[in-house]
């Protein structure tokens, strides 16, 4: 009991507060409240949206209140506009994705094919042999449009990129024509044409190489138009804005299939023959050169721009990969492979807007990538080189080799050796230009070959 009494006595002494300090504190607070001026700090809002009880009250003038209200209204209007813009973008994206998920492309309707994808070729339900490649985070997040991301309606991924760049390469000089495919069904061929026909002057037919399409010839065609030369350039099936047929069923990516496409395109468009043939690049450019040399009644002269010519010329490993087992399944779905390959052989970096054009087909569908796999598996590189050299040596069609010396894939010495052996004319392109000289330095390229275009 004695211990308990001592404990409670100590607790009581501890809890007693001196009166003097409390009195002084109260006096100081009262004095501060009496002589303080109104604060200009904003009211502290509580969780319920009303001013907190501990906040200092404001004493705004009518002009200040009006100015603050105006600023708040402007800010609210900006926020509403940003929200509306983003909502519109999201609605457009959702509509696009719904369409992709519920649409079966015509070229994927055939049953019994390992590539059939009944739910479409993009989205959560993407199926088929390579469906996973279009439906994984790394594919969807591999490409970013910085300007789009930083906008009020920003986002990222292949879906947004596709909507931003879709169809921008279909410029005013473009048109479409139908030709028959392997199974007799129509295939749409996108082509460009500039200039008016000139009596007694052959039009120029421009043919692109692998992983490329007619977009690369636009500057050259504009220069030809200014010079009074009519020109055509088209996208092979599976390339650019032409149809993307299903390999093995609707189109034959063989040498004969490519040659038939050239014949059918000229007939469908009604191009005046004989033409001046301009070719560039691997595979398609090589096939087109062979076709021109075999048809002197349709081709009066051939202009060759940086195309493999001499037997023994190495085939870039980037292209070899399309014919390798397993590996080809992966590289076929690389949407940025085209621009990287083309730029890799050039003297300069390719403009980002041009890269969008090369990337677009591979973002839209897996068919362009599978078309390249089919093309390369049927392509006998060395045999094609030997055939082209033998036909050029016959001299039935004159050949001019316009050569850009900064090509990272093809050696100038090989082109010079080809010309020495076949009698073809060699013309170096002045200035710095590489594999895709029509993009690197169109003015110098045309200046080198212009006399052959007239």
Please write the tens of the pLDDT for every residue from 144-153.
Answer: 344 444 444 4
| 131 pLDDT more than 50 | no
**pLDDT tens by residue, 387-445:** 999 999 999 999 999 999 999 999 999 999 999 999 999 999 999 999 999 999 999 99
User: Is the predicted pLDDT of residue 109 greater than 50, yes or no?
Assistant: no
pLDDT value for 46? 43
Question: Quick one: pLDDT band at residue 108, thresholds 50, 70, 90?
Answer: very low
Token reading at 355: 């890269």
Residue 116 has pLDDT above 60, yes or no: no
Cα distances (Å, whole numbers) of residue 430 to 67, 331, 404, 409: 65, 35, 8, 18
pLDDT of residue 35: 44
Confidence of residue 96 (pLDDT cuts 50, 70, 90): low
Task: Tell me the average pLDDT across 44-56.
Answer: 44
Q: How far apart are CA 256 and CA 263, in angstroms?
A: 11
> With bands split at pLDDT 50, 70 and 90, how would you rate the model's confidence at 68?
confident
* Residue bearing tokens 């002197």: 296
- Mean pLDDT, the chain, whole residue set: 80
Is 50 exceeded by the pLDDT of residue 22?
no
Residue count of the chain: 454
When pLDDT is cut at 50, 70 and 90, the band that residue 243 belongs to is very high
Task: Check residue 155 and give its pLDDT.
Answer: 47
Torsion of CA 100, 101, 105, 107, to 10 degrees: 120
Of the listed ranges 118-127, 353-362, 438-447, the least confidently predicted one is 118-127
| Greater pLDDT, 351 or 21 | 351
Q: Could you give the maximum distance between any two Cα atoms of the chain, in Å?
A: 131
In which residue are the tokens 């309707």 written? 109
Residue 384 has what pLDDT? 98
- Taking the whole predicted model, whether its pTM rises above 0.85 is answered as no
Query: Residue 38: CA atoms inside 13 Å, Cβ hemisphere, count?
Result: 8
H or E element at residue 40: none
């Amino acid at each position: 009991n004695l211990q308990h009494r001592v404990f409670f006595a100590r607790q009581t002494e501890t809890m007693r507060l001196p009166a003097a300090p409390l009195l002084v504190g109260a006096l100081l607070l009262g004095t501060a409240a009496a002589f303080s001026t109104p604060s200009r700090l904003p009211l502290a809002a509580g969780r319920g949206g009303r001013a907190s009880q501990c906040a200092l009250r404001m004493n705004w003038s009518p002009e200040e209140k009006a100015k603050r209200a105006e600023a708040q209204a402007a800010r609210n209007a900006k926020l509403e506009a940003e929200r509306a813009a983003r909502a519109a973008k999201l609605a457009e994206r959702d509509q696009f994705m719904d369409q992709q998920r519920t649409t079966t492309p015509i070229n994927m309707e055939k049953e019994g094919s390992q590539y059939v994808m009944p739910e479409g070729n993009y989205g959560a339900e993407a199926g088929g042999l390579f469906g996973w490649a279009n439906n994984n985070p790394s594919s969807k997040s591999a490409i970013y449009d910085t300007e789009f991301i930083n906008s009020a309606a920003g986002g990222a991924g292949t879906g947004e990129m596709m909507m931003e760049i879709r169809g921008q390469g279909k410029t005013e000089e473009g048109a479409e024509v139908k030709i028959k495919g392997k199974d007799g069904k129509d295939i749409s061929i996108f082509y460009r044409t500039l200039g008016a026909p000139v009596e007694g002057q052959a039009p120029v037919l421009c043919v692109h190489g692998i992983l490329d399409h007619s977009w690369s010839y636009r500057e050259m065609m504009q220069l030809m138009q200014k010079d009074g030369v009519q020109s055509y350039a088209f996208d092979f099936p599976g390339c650019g804005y032409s149809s993307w047929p299903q390999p093995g069923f609707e189109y034959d990516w063989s040498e004969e299939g490519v040659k038939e496409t050239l014949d059918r395109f000229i007939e469908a468009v009604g191009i005046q023959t004989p033409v001046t043939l301009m070719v560039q690049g691997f595979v398609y450019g090589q096939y087109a050169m062979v076709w021109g040399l075999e048809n002197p009644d349709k081709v009066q002269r051939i202009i060759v721009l940086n195309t493999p010519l001499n037997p023994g010329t190495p085939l870039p490993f980037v292209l070899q990969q399309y014919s390798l087992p397993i590996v080809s399944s992966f590289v076929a779905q690389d949407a940025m492979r085209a621009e990287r390959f083309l730029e890799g052989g050039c003297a300069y970096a390719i403009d980002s807007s041009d890269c969008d054009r090369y990337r677009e087909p591979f973002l839209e569908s897996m068919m362009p990538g599978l078309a390249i796999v089919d093309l390369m598996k049927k392509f006998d590189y060395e045999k094609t080189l030997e055939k082209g050299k033998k036909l050029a040596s016959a001299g039935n069609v004159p050949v001019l080799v316009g050569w850009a010396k900064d090509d990272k894939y093809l050696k100038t010495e090989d082109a010079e050796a080809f010309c020495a052996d076949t009698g073809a004319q060699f013309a170096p392109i002045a200035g710095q230009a590489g594999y895709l000289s029509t993009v690197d330095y169109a003015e110098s390229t045309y200046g080198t070959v212009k006399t052959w275009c007239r």
